[in-house]
Chain A
Amino acid sequence: MNEKGTKKKKIVISDKVWLLISLLAALLVWYLLSIGEATGRSFPFADKVVPSVKTMIDRGAFWKDIASSMTCVGIGFGLGFVTALPVAFLMAWYLPIQKIIEPWINFIRNIPALAYAPLLVITFGVGQKPAVILIWICTFMTMSITIYQGIKNIDVTLIKAARVLGANDFDIFLKIICPATVPFIITAIRLGLGAALTTLLAAESTGAQAGIGMRIRSLSNSFESAPMLMYIILLGIIGLVLLKIVDMIERKLTGWQEKIN
């Protein structure tokens, strides 16, 4: 095998080329699905899906849907983050708080949001309010647990080292715990954004007036598969863009981290 290997020249393909190949492969699968007799009805090809962007803009829905969904995700995720952070620290600091709260977070976390979305509508009415609250709940639970476990995993030797160098409790919190927690906070943000987007559909089932999730539902009622598929792809693109942004922040903030490859 080795002799063969030396004779054959190894072809190195760059990541960008791989991405292109992957894209072409996906397009091929998509095309095959679109010409299939049964699958063609749910998977119209790009030539029908792309123009549907214009159709939805003309109907005055496209931008409104994106704005509405992003508002829900933005506010819900934001609230989730600012509440998860202190709760995670409190759980790590005070045993009773952790003992009381953690089991319930784990309990509710495993229930699909769609199941209790109607309960929120009963209390908060229809519209964006229950949607925001639902995303808040879901992102809060994912992020608080992730950050809490991160704080718990901080190397105690670092705290000891800081203490013998004269650090007081406040210094240790600010100069050791906080920076040591940053990688876990980034992970929490990544998981939280994923949770926010997957909850979006459930959130907009609460009688939203606009939104990507709501639109997918209403287009499905009128069997308009081209714009529906367009919205589904749009959801994927938004997720991808958000994760790329988190990756960028991560590289800026945690370049010091040892990476296991």
Chain B
Amino acid sequence: MAREDKLVKLKIDNVYKEYEGRNGKMVALNGVNLDIAENEFICVVGPSGCGKSTLLNIIAGLLEPTSGAVYLDGKQIEGTGVERGVVFQQYALFPWRTVIKNVMFGLEMKKVPKDQTEQIARKYIKAVGLEGFENSYPKELSGGMKQRVAIARAYAANPEVLLLDEPFGALDAQTRVQLQTELLNTWEQEKKTCFFITHDVDEAIILAQRVIIMSARPGRIKKIVNIDIPYPRTQETKSHPRFLELKAEIWNEVYQEFLAVRK
């Protein structure tokens, strides 16, 4: 599986981002370069404040880099676009819309005919296991169910790249494991390019083909680790000797950065 002969879907080219803070300039990202292949599953780990969310927001087009650029299929991105879907940690469901209306939102924006919209929405609601909850409001759902709706909503808009910003961070351990498995299944079926941010090393190894370790502020890529464990991966993978090796390696790197932040 040589990455060179695969198509570069997303190219992050020397992205630099600084914020105007209270104590002067603060550099959030200091020259990030990364090529992500089509259908690749990338996980980004790093201590909090390493700029991983900033990077995701730049790819999504919600933030502009101070310098550098992001290219999708060789074209520089400008602003947001439906070809880049986002799943937020805080779910970001529209509370006044029912589950099905939430999932239909992206399709409505695309002006897809109504009868098709509903059909597509139902398909993805079924895919995330929420059949029967189509007409529930978000307030009636648990955290895990809300995030399933958010994932269905992102998928229904049919993006080419899916950006996930610590999507399972607020969930309990059991729900988290379940959603990881579901996400992997969906990814294996739909084959979208996934860019997944997490601070959970186990989660990163279970999901990703490559794990990107970011350094403490100013954020840059410290190390890229290939996860050479074949799919399908399950919870049993976690006791795989290779898994434990990778976990020790990545954990050690992340911990060093964590200590650097503490200093």
> A160 to B90, alpha carbons, bound, how many Å?
12
Closest Cβ–Cβ distance, residue A164 to chain B (whole Å): 4
- Interface segment among B1-9, B105-113, B173-181, B216-224: the answer is B105-113
> What interface size band does chain A fall in?
20 to 34
Please determine whether B62 and A165 come into contact, CB atoms closer than 8 angstroms.
no
Does B260 touch A at the CB level, under 8 Å?
no
Interface stretch of the complex, out of B79-87, B117-125, B201-209, B247-255: B79-87
Q: Given the complex of chains A and B, what is the CA–CA distance between A254 and B96 in angstroms? A: 7
Q: Are B95 and A256 in contact (CB under 8 A)?
A: yes
Q: Does A182 contact B (CB under 8 A)?
A: yes
Query: Which of A155, A164, A179 contacts B96, CB < 8 Å?
Result: A179
B139: A residues at CB distance < 8 A: 256-258
Chain A residue numbers with a CB within 8 Å of B84 are: 164
Asked if A126 CB lies within 8 Å of chain B CBs, one says: no
Query: In the bound complex, do residue B106 and residue A165 qualify as a contact, i.e. CB atoms below 8 Å apart?
Result: yes
Q: Known: A160-B62, A257-B139. Contact between A165 and B82, CB under 8 A?
A: yes
- Complex interface bits, A167-179 against B, C-beta within 8 A gives 1, otherwise 0: 1000100011001
Instruction: Tell whether, in the assembled complex, residue B137 and residue A256 are in contact, meaning their CB atoms are under 8 Å apart.
Output: yes
Cα of A166 to Cα of B86 in the assembled complex, Å: 11
Contacts of B85 in A (CB 8 A): 164-165
Q: How large is the interface on B (under 10, 10 to 19, 20 to 34, 35 or more residues)?
A: 20 to 34
Contact with B along A123-163 (1 / 0, CB 8 A): 00000000000000000000000000000000101101111
Rounded to whole angstroms, the CA-CA distance of A107 and B232 in the bound complex is 66
Determine whether B153 belongs to the interface, using a CB cutoff of 8 Å to chain A: yes
Count chain A CB atoms within 10 A of each CB in B86, B95, B97 and give the residue with the most.
Answer: B95
Interface residues of B in 130-146 (CB under 8 A from A): 137-139
B106:A166 contact, CB within 8 angstroms: yes
Q: Quick check: is A180 within 8 A (CB to CB) of the other chain?
A: yes
A residues near B92, Cβ cutoff 8 Å: 155, 157-158, 160-161
- B94 contacts the other chain (Cβ, under 8 Å)? yes
Q: How far is the CB of A132 from chain B (nearest CB, A)?
A: 34
> A166–B105 Cα gap in the complex (Å)?
9
Residue numbers in B under 8 Å from A180 (CB-CB): 96
Q: Which residues of chain B are near A179, meaning CB under 8 Å?
A: 94, 96
Residues of chain A with a CB closer than 8 A to B62's CB:
160, 163-164
Is B80 within 8 A of A164, CB to CB?
Answer: yes
Residues of chain A lying within 8 A (CB to CB) of residue B81 = 166
Q: Could you tell me the distance between the alpha carbons of A257 and B110 in the complex, rounded to whole angstroms? A: 27
Q: Kindly provide the distance from the CB of B181 to the nearest chain A CB, expressed in whole angstroms.
A: 25
Closest to A182 in B: B96
B36 within 8 A of A: no
Residue B151 interfacial (CB < 8 Å): no
Question: Which of A155, A162, A257, A258 is the one whose CB lies under 8 Å from B105?
Answer: A162
Q: Is B60 an interface residue (CB 8 A)?
A: yes
Quote the shortest CB–CB distance from A21 to chain B (angstroms): 34
Q: Is B42 an interface residue (CB 8 A)?
A: no
B187 at the interface (CB under 8 A from A): no
Contacts of B106 in A (CB 8 A): 165-166
Residues of B participating in the A interface, judged by any CB pair closer than 8 Å: 60-62, 80-82, 84-86, 88, 90, 92-97, 105-106, 109-110, 137-139, 153, 157
